């Protein structure tokens, strides 16, 4: 269902490698399964031909990798950025996390990525191969005789259903056509939870967060979590904690993580994509985004380089913490 | 782990009355790190302090916890005690068991329980204390005064008098400011020029003072004691050191119809000009927007008539970099624009003027050579209406007026009214007022004299509208005491326009990281106790840039600011507050969150090379805190996601240890 | 002075004006074109409402002399809006049973050929319940 | 036998310049408030890291209140403005997670408002007492 093909991307990458514009390519590499795509650095055209993939499971946001990879590579690195990735790209530039001069960014269009959990829910386990054909996915499993054909739209990832922008906010070169910022309904789920009673919300989150196994995948994939040393890994922080000893620590971890990225999170949805327990972690971030939009005016992290996040800014007329709740009750 | 000594104070019966001090010192004995615990009647007394010193020696204490009154009371006392005993003064923590325990809880049991918990929290904290040594930084012994009005002049003279070099930066071609435009000064009615110009000459002749006129500050960096400032000297197209101020060029310049700013546009000046006779420096300046030579390369008359050869049409703006230990802001004020006050017909009639224009009209060096004549027809006005509070105390009209009282208008209006009646007894003078505010030495007497001796008609009420009709101004006003609406045919209407800070103040405040209020007046560090200091260390405030002020008040504030500057420059080294933020470079991401919330601009970034675990090196952008600028609020510590930024004396681990101790 | 708390609050509520913001400058009355027609002037309206001295205002012809030109509102430096106070007192007066200041019977006597209908409509809005 | 009355545990973070002085003033004027309130002194309300608040709840606090100078009066000019935004966001998030919103509060108390300090603490303790024990954010290991 992607409009751009693997071959086009390989051709572009090969061109740039061969003419010396870049010395490496950050792209999606073959993983163990078709849906298990691994971020990979390619240095030669041959490596690209052998290992580069582009399919409906290439959700990984490469912006974050630039923080570490730009140091390791002489010359420029080519990075492919989907529209949502470009916001993270800008946000990291705002925070001076990598050297823009060392990156050659190619914006690529995105038609939305598939959620493997949704695929599995239809096809069943034991997926051997997934093919793409127009707007259909053909899923071959070990247990079924016939491949299952699924409409790509039915298995679209949540973050793509609620895609906030098809527009690239940063690139050196754009492949395909430029899209628009989209009026999405991405805050609907947050609003639905807000409308619940505190007890219902507590039960909801208790159910969700208690599944957390503290694998740190959310943190490791998050393009806003690029700290040199995370407080949760730092024995001197006083809150070091590597495994959840009880349910409070999961909450502490996720609240603090969401707070640390508040105002910096671009709502790319990587946290929820990589969560092996399918916890809707993006809702925590969206809650912060929604609140800050409500309280302090619309703000989209990464929309431009150098913008000032709401939590490191203020006006003398800001609403009081206590008024937050009055306001909600009045709106309800 | 520290070796902690705990000292529980009875404070007579203040603490011991509701807290079982014996039980507290006993309970705290078994806390981690505690090697000694005792209680005493008055810990702050000499005997109590000696007890602490003794215990430090005997038990080799490395940390002290005093359970006593508020640290706001005696923290400094016990820190000195610790220092006297050879400990670092910051190894002392106070548990506030008086104000926040014995005095607010009635019951011995709860009081004692809480005192023990507060003691535990203090012990938990002191165990994590580290000796702190205040940072030191050198002081550049030179001051910068921004603004060359009476505030700046007085400040500069006082600083120079103490022996320190001072630079004055003035954006106009001459120093003197608003006071140079005034005629007489209240309440003694001496002429402004007679008392100001000698001071201007003093400034010019003082070897310690340099004047950068026709100049502005474009860049400020650094911090208290160590500011680096870039001053832009605008090209005046006249060599300052050669020009003798003879005025031949001014006389011969053919472009004579340029509105004269000094007389508020009520007459004209040539393209090359000296603002007024006593200008300092007395040097001509070419107005580049008016000079034909500069615009089209045609003319050159001034160059021909200049015997000294001072004219230089090729002069360029010059940038000067200088270091200063202290900066004084003296940017002053301006009357607000009257354009939006349609009801007073300011833009419709030349005979509706502002009070500052009135000053020029009555000034012997003014456009009418001191004769009070109507600007429209040059006739002598017989009926003059003064309107007070025009744009002052104006809450509903933020787009045209100011909410505050401009403070000086009552007095200068009384002065104008009195002088008019004195010089022209045939004139009817009305003053419409809302309130007459004349606090100040001899001020109310002055106002009463205007009424009682000079027969000025003070009418409680406001003017509603002024309509020009023929050669008269129809004034419609309230007389609230008589409960009448008055209709006066006036010849001249004088508006006491509100004053506002100079427009240059806001960008300057940004450069200095000095704070301002919503009206663009500079904020003082404390409204009562530190009125001439800005919250930004090393930046001081003088005159009306801080709030509306008359001359006596401005001069006294200027002197106060100077004495603060002298106090600062007299030091060879500055000792800072050691409880400042510090960044752990190994953990810093260089993301700028901390710098975004720092109110003092204390955080800067540098690219540093780091050895990585894999033996490669990496250059990373990391924050560094200037301890001389940081005031220790801690805003940065919370903005920092990685926890690289911490606050000495109130470290993350220390506060969490307190939380843990309280919640245990 | 009689202080009618109930009426005072009522007028403050209807007008939405906070009379204590008045700093007694009299600019409203200075600018009022109907000043000479009025027994109580705009600043007095504000002041008397602030004091709760409402009855004299209710009974005063001044209520019907205000032209609602809003010059006072425009000029007031404190945003007090005296015309709204006058309006509120007027409303309080005519809301009483039978207290209409104008009835349909009064019209023929004052009407002239070129009186615009809109004037009559607004007069009715203003002077009757 | 009499049932033990429930006593909540309240942690109050007070800024050194206003609220801590306000608490001292409450003491000077002998204005009583429950001993359940334990004050931690911080230089400015903006020093309060959300981590400290969660830590307090984790260790068994039933309510956390942050007191600072009134907006506009911050000793450090802007600290409490940041506090206001941070805490508005954090408390809204805690509420979103179903934690009772009455357990957290921000109050501006000046050095002159001893009476307000005492009244605020009385009110906050009463509110938290009515809610009962904090069960939603506590760490059971940390319970006595």
pLDDT in tens, A191-217: 999 999 999 999 999 889 888 888 999
SS (H, E, C) B479-532: ECCCCEEEEEEECEEEEEECEEECCCHHHHHHHHCCCECCCCCECCCECCCECC
- What is the structure's pLDDT at A247? 63
Percent of chain B, pLDDT > 70? 100
- What is the structure's pLDDT at A256? 93
Helices (H), chain A: 6-18, 45-51, 65-72, 83-94, 116-123, 158-161, 188-195, 198-209, 217-221, 247-261, 270-274, 282-296, 323-331
Same domain? For A199 and A106 the reply is no
Selected residue of B522, B578, B638 to mutate for chain D interface (largest D Cβ count, 10 A): B638
Burial label, A251 (beta-carbon count in 10 A; 0-12, 13-18, 19+): buried
Give me the residue from A190, A284, A321 closest to D88, CB to CB. Answer: A321
pLDDT tens per residue, range C5-41: 888 999 999 999 999 999 999 999 999 999 999 999 9
- Answer whether A240 touches D (CB < 8 Å): no
List B residues 383-412 in contact with C (Cβ-Cβ < 8 A).
389, 393-397, 401
Q: Looking at the predicted structure, is the pLDDT value of residue B398 above 50? A: yes
* Average pLDDT rounded to a whole number, residues C105-114: 80
Same domain? For A93 and A221 the reply is no
* Average pLDDT rounded to a whole number, residues A144-165: 91
Q: Looking at the predicted structure, is the pLDDT value of residue D139 above 80? A: no
- Chains touching D (at least 3 CB pairs under 8 A) are A, B
Q: Is the dihedral of CA B595, B502, B437, B188 positive or negative?
A: positive
Q: Which residues of B touch A97 (CB under 8 A)?
A: 589-591
Q: Which residues of B touch A234 (CB under 8 A)?
A: 587, 643
Residues 6+ apart with CB under 8 A from B122: B65, B67, B93, B94, B95, B658
Residues 6+ apart with CB under 8 A from D35: B101, B104, B105, B107, B110, B111, B113, B114
Phi then psi dihedrals of residue B169, to 5 deg: -110, 120
B542 and B561 in contact (C-beta within 8 Å)? yes
B136: pLDDT confidence band, cut at 50, 70 and 90? confident
B417 and B388 in contact (C-beta within 8 Å)? no
pTM: 0.72
- Tokens of residue B399, six digits: 């787009």
> Which among B262, B321, B318 has a CA at the least distance from the CA of B287?
B262
User: Is C touching A (3+ C-beta pairs, cut-off 8 A)?
Assistant: no
- Tokens of residue B89, six digits: 């003064």
B91 and B125 in contact (C-beta within 8 Å)? no
CB contact under 8 A, A311 and D85: yes
B43: pLDDT confidence band, cut at 50, 70 and 90? very high
D140: pLDDT confidence band, cut at 50, 70 and 90? low
- Chains touching B (at least 3 CB pairs under 8 A) are A, C, D
User: Is D touching C (3+ C-beta pairs, cut-off 8 A)?
Assistant: no
- Answer whether D87 touches A (CB < 8 Å): yes
CA of A205 to nearest chain D CA: how many angstroms apart?
A: 6
Residues 6+ apart with CB under 8 A from B250: B269, B270, B272, B273, B274, B284
CB contact under 8 A, B483 and C44: yes
* Average pLDDT rounded to a whole number, residues B112-138: 94
* Average pLDDT rounded to a whole number, residues B463-475: 95
Give me the residue from A312, A315, A321 closest to D91, CB to CB. Answer: A321
CB contact under 8 A, A226 and B590: no
Q: Is the dihedral of CA B439, B443, B446, B450 positive or negative?
A: negative
Pairing of the two strands B333-335 and B499-501 = antiparallel
Alpha carbon distance A20, A183 (integer Å): 40
Give me the residue from C30, C41, C44 closest to B462, CB to CB. Answer: C30
Q: Looking at the predicted structure, is the pLDDT value of residue B397 above 80? A: no
Q: Is the domain covering C5-96 a CATH 1.10.1060.10 domain?
A: yes
- Which segment of A277-291, B110-124, C94-108, D107-121 scores lowest on mean pLDDT? C94-108
pLDDT tens per residue, range A76-101: 999 999 999 999 999 999 999 999 99
Same domain? For A3 and A54 the reply is yes
Average pLDDT taken over every residue of chain B: 94
- What is the structure's pLDDT at A98? 93
**C-alpha B656, offset from chain centre:** 38
Q: Looking at the predicted structure, is the pLDDT value of residue D98 above 80? A: yes
Q: Looking at the predicted structure, is the pLDDT value of residue B273 above 60? A: yes
Q: Give the residue with greater pLDDT, B519 vs C124.
A: B519
Consecutive H or E run containing B321: strand B318-324
**Residue B61: C-alpha distances to residues A61, B5, B34, B82, B461 (Å):** 55, 6, 9, 10, 74
Percent of chain B, pLDDT > 90? 89
D82: pLDDT confidence band, cut at 50, 70 and 90? very high
Q: Looking at the predicted structure, is the pLDDT value of residue A328 above 80? A: no
- What is the structure's pLDDT at A331? 63
Residues 6+ apart with CB under 8 A from B169: B144, B145, B146, B147, B148, B212, B215, B216, B217, B231
CB contact under 8 A, B652 and A234: no
Domains (ranges, CATH) in chain B?
4-126 (3.40.50), 134-231+317-331+511-570 (3.50.50.60), 235-316 (3.30.70.20), 333-500 (3.50.50.60), 581-648 (3.30.70.3270)
Q: Which residues of D touch A292 (CB under 8 A)?
A: 89
Q: Looking at the predicted structure, is the pLDDT value of residue B433 above 60? A: yes
Structural domain includes residue A332: no
Structural domain includes residue A252: yes
Q: Where are the domains of chain D?
A: 10-142
CA of C28 to nearest chain B CA: how many angstroms apart?
A: 7
- Answer whether A232 touches D (CB < 8 Å): no
Q: Which residues of D touch B638 (CB under 8 A)?
A: 46-50, 82, 86
Alpha carbon distance B501, B541 (integer Å): 13
CB contact under 8 A, B518 and A238: no
- What is the structure's pLDDT at A146? 87
Same domain? For A127 and A73 the reply is no
Range of the domain at A275: 186-327
Q: State the DSSP code for C51.
A: H
Same domain? For A145 and A208 the reply is no
C27 and C75 in contact (C-beta within 8 Å)? yes
Largest CA distance in chain A: 67
Alpha carbon distance B659, D66 (integer Å): 13
CA of D98 to nearest chain A CA: how many angstroms apart?
A: 4
CATH topology of domain D10-142: Rossmann fold (3.40.50)
> In degrees to the nearest 10, what's the CA dihedral of B76, B77, B81, B82?
-30
- Answer whether A316 touches B (CB < 8 Å): yes
pLDDT tens per residue, range A250-286: 788 999 999 999 999 999 999 999 999 999 999 999 9
Q: How many domains does chain A have?
A: 3
CB contact under 8 A, C77 and B460: no
Give me the residue from C23, C29, C36 closest to B434, CB to CB. Answer: C23
- What is the structure's pLDDT at D1? 43
Q: Looking at the predicted structure, is the pLDDT value of residue A145 above 90? A: no
- What is the structure's pLDDT at D3? 53
* Average pLDDT rounded to a whole number, residues B274-299: 95
- What is the structure's pLDDT at C2? 59
User: Is C touching B (3+ C-beta pairs, cut-off 8 A)?
Assistant: yes
Alpha carbon distance B537, B533 (integer Å): 8
Give me the residue from C24, C29, C44 closest to B485, CB to CB. Answer: C29
Give me the residue from A202, A295, A323 closest to D97, CB to CB. Answer: A202
B640 and B593 in contact (C-beta within 8 Å)? yes
Average pLDDT taken over every residue of chain A: 91
Tokens 């200027």 identify what position?
Answer: B558
Q: Looking at the predicted structure, is the pLDDT value of residue C1 above 60? A: no
B7 and B65 in contact (C-beta within 8 Å)? yes
pLDDT tens per residue, range B619-639: 899 999 998 889 899 999 999
D144: pLDDT confidence band, cut at 50, 70 and 90? very low
Coil, strand or helix at B207: coil
């Amino acid at each position: 269902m992607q409009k751009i093909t693997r071959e086009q991307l390989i051709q572009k990458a090969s061109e740039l490698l061969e003419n010396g514009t870049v010395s490496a390519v950050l792209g999606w590499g073959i993983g163990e399964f078709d849906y298990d795509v691994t971020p990979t650095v390619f240095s030669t055209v041959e490596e690209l031909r052998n290992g580069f993939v582009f399919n409906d499971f290439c959700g990984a946001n490469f912006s974050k990798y630039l923080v570490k990879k730009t140091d390791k590579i002489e010359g420029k690195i080519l990075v492919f950025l989907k529209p949502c990735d470009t916001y993270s790209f800008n946000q990291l530039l705002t925070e001076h996390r990598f050297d823009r001069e060392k990156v050659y960014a190619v914006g690529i269009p995105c038609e939305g990525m598939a959620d493997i959990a949704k695929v599995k829910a239809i096809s069943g386990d034991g997926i051997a191969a997934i093919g793409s054909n127009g707007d259909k996915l053909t899923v071959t499993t070990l247990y079924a005789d016939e491949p299952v054909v699924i409409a790509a739209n039915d298995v679209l990832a949540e973050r793509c259903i609620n895609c906030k922008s098809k527009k690239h906010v940063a690139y050196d070169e754009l492949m395909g056509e430029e899209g628009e910022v989209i009026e999405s309904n991405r805050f609907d789920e947050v609003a639905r939870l807000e409308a619940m009673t505190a007890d219902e919300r507590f039960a909801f989150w208790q159910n969700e967060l208690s599944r957390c196994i503290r694998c740190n995948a959310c943190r490791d994939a998050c393009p806003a979590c690029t700290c040199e040393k995370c407080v949760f890994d730092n024995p001197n922080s006083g809150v070091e904690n590597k495994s959840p000893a009880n349910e409070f620590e999961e909450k502490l971890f996720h609240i603090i993580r969401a707070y640390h990225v508040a105002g910096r999170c671009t709502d790319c949805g990587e946290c929820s994509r990589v969560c092996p327990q399918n916890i809707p972690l993006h809702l925590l971030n969206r809650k912060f985004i929604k609140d800050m939009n409500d309280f302090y005016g619309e703000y989209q992290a990464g929309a431009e380089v150098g913008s000032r996040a709401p939590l490191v800014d203020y006006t003398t007329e800001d609403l009081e913490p206590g008024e937050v709740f009055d306001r909600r009750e009045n709106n309800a | 782990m520290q070796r902690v000594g705990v000292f529980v104070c009875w404070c007579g019966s203040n603490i011991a009355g509701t807290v079982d001090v014996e039980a507290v010192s006993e309970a705290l004995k078994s806390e981690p790190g505690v090697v000694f615990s005792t209680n005493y009647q008055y810990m702050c007394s000499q005997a109590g302090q000696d007890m602490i010193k003794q215990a430090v020696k005997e038990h080799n204490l490395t940390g002290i916890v005093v359970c006593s009154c508020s640290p706001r009371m005696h923290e400094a006392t016990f820190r000195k005690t610790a220092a006297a005993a050879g400990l670092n003064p910051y190894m002392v923590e106070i548990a506030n068991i008086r104000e926040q325990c014995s005095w607010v809880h009635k019951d011995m049991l709860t009081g004692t329980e809480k005192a023990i918990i507060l003691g535990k929290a203090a012990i938990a904290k002191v165990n994590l204390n580290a000796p702190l040594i205040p940072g030191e930084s050198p002081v550049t012994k030179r001051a910068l005064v921004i603004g060359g009005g009476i505030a700046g002049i007085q400040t500069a003279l006082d600083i120079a008098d103490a022996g320190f070099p001072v630079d004055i930066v003035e954006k106009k071609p001459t120093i003197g400011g608003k006071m140079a435009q005034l005629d007489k000064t209240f309440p003694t009615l001496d002429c402004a020029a007679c008392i100001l110009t000698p001071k201007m000459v003093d400034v010019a002749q003082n070897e310690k003072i340099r004047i950068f006129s026709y100049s502005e500050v474009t860049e400020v960096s650094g911090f208290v004691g160590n500011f680096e400032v870039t001053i832009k000297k605008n090209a005046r197209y006249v060599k300052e050191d050669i020009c003798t101020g003879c005025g031949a060029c001014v006389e011969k310049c053919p472009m004579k119809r340029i509105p004269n700013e000094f007389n508020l546009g009520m007459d004209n000046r040539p393209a090359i000009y000296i603002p007024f006779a006593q200008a300092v420096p007395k040097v001509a300046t070419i107005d580049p927007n008016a000079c034909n030579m500069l615009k089209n390369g045609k003319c050159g008359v001034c160059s021909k008539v200049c015997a000294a050869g001072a004219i230089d049409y090729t002069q360029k703006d010059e940038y000067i970099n200088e270091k200063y230990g202290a900066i004084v802001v003296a940017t002053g004020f301006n009357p607000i624009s009257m354009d939006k006050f349609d009801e007073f017909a300011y833009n419709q009639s030349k005979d509706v003027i502002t009070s500052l224009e009135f000053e020029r009209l009555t000034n012997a060096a003014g456009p009418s050579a001191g004769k009070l004549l109507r600007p429209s027809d040059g006739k002598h006005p017989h009926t003059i209406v003064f309107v007070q509070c025009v744009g002052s105390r104006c809450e509903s009209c933020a787009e045209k007026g100011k909410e505050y009282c401009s403070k000086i208008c009552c007095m200068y209006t009384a002065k104008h009214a009195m002088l008019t009646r004195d010089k022209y007894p045939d004139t009817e003078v009305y003053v419409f007022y809302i309130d007459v505010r004349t606090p100040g030495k001899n001020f109310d007497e002055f106002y009463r004299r205007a009424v009682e001796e000079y027969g000025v008609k003070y009418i409680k009420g406001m003017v509603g509208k002024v309509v020009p009709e023929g050669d008269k101004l129809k004034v419609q006003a309230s007389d609230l005491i008589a409960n009448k609406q008055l209709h006066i045919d006036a010849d001249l209407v004088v508006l006491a326009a509100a004053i506002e800070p100079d427009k240059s103040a806001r960008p300057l405040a940004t450069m200095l990281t000095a704070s301002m209020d919503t009206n663009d007046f500079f904020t003082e560090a404390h409204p009562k106790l530190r009125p001439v200091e800005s919250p930004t260390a090393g930046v001081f405030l003088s005159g009306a840039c801080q709030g509306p002020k008359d001359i006596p008040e401005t001069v006294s504030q200027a002197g106060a600011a100077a004495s603060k500057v002298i106090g600062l420059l007299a030091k060879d080294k500055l000792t800072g507050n050691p409880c400042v933020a510090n960044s752990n470079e190994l953990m810093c991401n260089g993301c700028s969150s901390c710098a975004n919330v720092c109110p003092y601009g204390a955080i800067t970034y540098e690219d540093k090379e780091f050895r990585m675990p894999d033996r490669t090196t990496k250059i990373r952008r990391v924050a560094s805190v200037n301890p001389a600028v940081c005031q220790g609020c801690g805003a940065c510590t919370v903005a920092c996601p990685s926890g690289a930024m911490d606050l000495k004396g109130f470290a993350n681990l220390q506060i969490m240890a307190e939380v843990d101790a309280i919640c245990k | 002075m009689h202080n009618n708390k109930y009426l005072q609050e009522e007028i403050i509520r209807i007008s939405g004006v906070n009379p204590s913001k008045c700093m007694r400058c009299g600019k409203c009355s200075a600018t009022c074109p109907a000043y000479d027609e009025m027994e109580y002037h705009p600043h007095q309206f504000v002041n008397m409402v602030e004091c709760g001295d409402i009855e004299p205002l209710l009974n005063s012809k001044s209520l019907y002399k205000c032209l609602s030109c809003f010059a006072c509102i425009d000029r007031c430096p404190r945003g007090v809006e005296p015309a709204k106070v006058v309006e509120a007192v007027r409303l309080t007066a005519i809301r009483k049973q039978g207290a209409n200041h104008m009835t349909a019977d009064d019209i023929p006597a004052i009407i002239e050929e070129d009186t615009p209908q809109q004037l009559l409509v607004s007069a009715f809005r203003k002077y009757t319940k | 036998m009499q049932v033990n009355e429930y006593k909540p545990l309240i942690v109050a973070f007070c800024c050194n310049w206003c609220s801590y002085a306000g608490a001292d003033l409450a003491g000077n004027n002998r204005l009583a408030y429950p001993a359940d309130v334990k004050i931690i002194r911080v230089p400015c309300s903006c020093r309060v890291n959300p981590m400290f608040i969660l830590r307090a709840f984790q260790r068994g606090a039933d309510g956390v209140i942050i007191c600072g100078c009134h907006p506009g009066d911050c000793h450090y000019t802007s600290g409490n403005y940041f506090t206001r935004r941070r805490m508005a966001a954090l408390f809204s998030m805690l509420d979103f997670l179903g934690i009772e919103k009455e357990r957290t509060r921000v109050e501006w108390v000046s050095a002159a408002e001893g009476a307000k300090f005492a009244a605020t603490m009385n009110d906050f303790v009463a509110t938290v007492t009515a809610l009962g024990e904090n069960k939603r954010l506590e760490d059971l290991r940390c319970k006595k």
